[in-house]
Amino acid sequence: MLTIELLQSLGANTKDGLGRCLNNETMYLKFVNMALEDANFERLSRAIAADDRHDAFEAAHALKGVLGNLSLTPLYETASEMTELLRTQKDADYSAYLEKLLAKRDELKNA
């Protein structure tokens, strides 16, 4: 079960995230759990597999916003890197970024 302490130990800036949720821990944890189930993770996976950089950008950008607002730093940083690479359509191994992002998400989901 996710707790504030666990999120902090995994690198999340819970002070900022809680602040955006009026310091309501229950609300914050609910939003974190919802974010970890965001459909854009699957959308991003499909787009990367299909080499659809436009759709991958849209999904990564949406995730970047959600993860940033919740201050889920380990996920946000990877989503942010992906977003900027995809914005420029730069050739990169996006699957490596995706694997890192999904591994961090799964670490939180399975905590």
**For 103, left (φ over 0), alpha (ψ -120 to 50), or beta?**
alpha
Q: Which pLDDT score, from 0 to 100, does residue 12 have?
A: 96
Per-residue pLDDT at 1 exceeds 90: no
SS (H, E, C) 23-42: CCHHHHHHHHHHHHCCCHHH
Give the whole-angstrom CA distance, residue 40 versus residue 79. Answer: 11
**Which spans in the chain are helix H?**
4-9, 14-20, 25-36, 40-49, 53-69, 73-87, 94-109
Q: Considering the entire predicted model, what is its pTM?
A: 0.94
Are 20 and 70 within 8 A, CB to CB? Answer: yes
pLDDT per residue as tens digits for the range 23-48: 999 999 999 999 999 999 999 999 99
Cα(97)–Cα(81) distance, integer angstroms: 8
**Average pLDDT of the chain?**
96
Domains with residue ranges and CATH for the chain: 4-109 (1.20.120)
Span 62-91, pLDDT tens digits: 999 999 999 999 999 999 999 999 999 888
